[in-house]
């Protein structure tokens, strides 16, 4: 695979990730634009995560049709979702768009990751996956500030129109340029054979639960960090966009660390070290977050350690059941969605009590994730 094509695939993921992530820092902006409270938008985010948890049961119909089919189908869902808001902005259309765009990611991301994994040996796969995952941080470094710029100069629905246009361009590019991998064979137990094998194996379930738990830890912070910065330091829209860029830089650093270290450390060991580091960051954030600079520094540490953990998990997942990579990656993605739904539900009431309770919840989820890492270490690598 050429470097130019890998960069282009990463750029497409930046678009999908920007649509997925922009609701967090601009949650108060969307709520004001729609004339609803914060809890309403948080509920839409939670609903998105719940629907995403069912995507693995759709993937068995997609994986036998090849990686390219999964990517194109994902872009259709994504473009349709953001297009609904662009042409009919409302609370209902936003809720539909969040769900459709998540399903788009749920189909596109594992298909692309499986495609890259098909052509990369396991000993080098950590760096290859990390290269794709740079799209996650770049969405905060470039995508979210761009959304903030659009929001400050236009209506709350304008970013959805721009993202829709980019989605159409991505569909055309994939359709015309990508040559598919060898199409996987059907499981001997039928269309749901791979799914059944995954949910009945303790090792695969433990591997998947790592992402669920650390995602829950991350989501309780994701939901409220924009509100916390507004409440504590009265940051406005442009400043929230800049704060998001700082978080994006921390995630870029985490992905860079994975790129350089995960293949040397081993995927399981790297995941465990990341969880431990994220716990320490969660303890530190309320302590140093009493000033704007301290808050941003604490968020930097929290997000760099989370990103190192979550990206280290992905190459591990690709090899736990290599005969069903897309399905396994999809289950892992669904587990992330369940974790994010749990975090989204818990965040508002916890924040109402105090920000320290948010970080306490993050630590508890991380410790459970560390236990899952330990279990996988007994059976893998």
Per-residue pLDDT reduced to its tens digit, 60-95: 778 778 889 999 999 999 999 999 998 998 999 999
- pLDDT for 324 equals 76
- pLDDT for 315 equals 86
DSSP 2: -
Q: Is the pLDDT of residue 17 over 80?
A: yes
42 vs 193: which has the higher pLDDT: 42
**pLDDT one-digit tens code per residue, 238-289:** 666 666 667 778 878 988 998 888 888 888 889 999 999 999 998 998 888 7
**pLDDT one-digit tens code per residue, 290-346:** 887 888 888 889 989 998 999 999 888 887 787 778 888 888 888 887 898 899 889
Q: Is the pLDDT of residue 195 over 60?
A: yes
- pLDDT for 279 equals 94
Domains and CATH numbers, the chain: 3-179+187-377 (1.20.1250.20)
Q: Is the pLDDT of residue 162 over 90?
A: yes
Name the average pLDDT for the chain: 85
Percent of the chain with pLDDT over 70: 92
CB atoms inside a 10 Å sphere around CB 234: 9
Q: What is the pTM of this model?
A: 0.75
Percent of the chain with pLDDT over 90: 32
Kindly state the average pLDDT of the residues 157-161. 92
pLDDT tier at 217, thresholds 50, 70, 90? very high
pLDDT tier at 188, thresholds 50, 70, 90? low
- pLDDT for 189 equals 58
Give residue for tokens 């309780």: 220
| Surface-to-core class of residue 61, CB atoms within 10 Å of its CB (0-12 exposed, 13-18 middle, 19+ buried) | exposed
Q: Is the pLDDT of residue 222 over 60?
A: yes
- The candidate with the shortest Cα–Cα distance to 319, out of 267, 275, 371, 271, is 267
- pLDDT for 100 equals 94
Q: In 120-236, where does DSSP find H-type helix?
A: 122-138, 144-153, 158-177, 193-199, 202-233
Question: What is the spatial distance between Cα 340 and Cα 336, in angstroms, rounded to a whole number?
Answer: 6
- pLDDT for 183 equals 66
DSSP 182: P
């Amino acid at each position: 695979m050429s470097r130019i094509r890998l960069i282009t695939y990463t750029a497409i993921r930046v678009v999908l990730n920007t649509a997925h992530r922009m609701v967090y820092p601009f949650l108060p902006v969307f709520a004001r634009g729609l004339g609803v409270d914060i809890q309403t938008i948080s509920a839409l985010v939670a609903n998105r995560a719940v629907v995403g948890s069912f995507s693995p049961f759709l993937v068995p119909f997609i994986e036998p049709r090849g990686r390219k089919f999964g990517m194109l189908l994902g872009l259709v869902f994504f473009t349709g979702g953001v297009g609904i808001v662009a042409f009919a902005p409302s609370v209902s259309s936003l809720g539909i768009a969040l769900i459709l765009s998540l399903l788009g990611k749920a189909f596109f991301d594992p298909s692309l990751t499986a495609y890259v994994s098909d052509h990369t040996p396991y000993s080098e796969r950590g760096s290859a996956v990390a290269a794709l995952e740079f799209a996650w941080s770049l969405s905060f470094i470039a995508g979210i500030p761009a959304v903030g710029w659009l929001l400050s100069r236009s209506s709350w629905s304008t970013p959805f129109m721009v993202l829709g246009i980019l989605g159409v361009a991505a569909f055309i590019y994939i359709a015309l340029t990508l040559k598919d991998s060898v199409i996987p064979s059907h499981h001997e137990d039928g269309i749901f054979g791979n799914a059944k094998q995954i949910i009945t194996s303790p090792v695969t379930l433990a591997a998947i639960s790592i992402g669920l738990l650390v995602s829950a830890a991350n989501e309780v912070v994701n939901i409220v960090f924009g509100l916390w910065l507004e409440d504590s330091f009265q940051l406005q829209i442009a400043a929230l966009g800049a704060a998001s860029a700082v978080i994006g830089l921390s995630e870029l650093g985490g992905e860079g660390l994975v790129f350089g270290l995960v293949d040397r450390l081993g995927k399981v060991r790297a995941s465990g070290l990341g969880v431990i580091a994220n716990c320490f960051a969660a303890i530190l954030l309320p302590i140093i977050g009493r000033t704007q600079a301290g808050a941003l520094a604490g968020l930097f540490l929290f997000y760099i350690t989370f990103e190192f953990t979550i990206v280290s998990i992905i190459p591990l997942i690709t090899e736990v059941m290599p005969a069903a990579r897309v399905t396994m990656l999809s289950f892992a993605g669904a587990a992330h969605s369940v974790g994010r739904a749990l975090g989204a539900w818990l965040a508002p009431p916890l924040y109402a009590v105090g920000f320290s309770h948010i970080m306490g919840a993050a630590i508890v989820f991380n410790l459970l994730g560390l236990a899952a890492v330990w279990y996988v270490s007994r059976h893998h690598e």
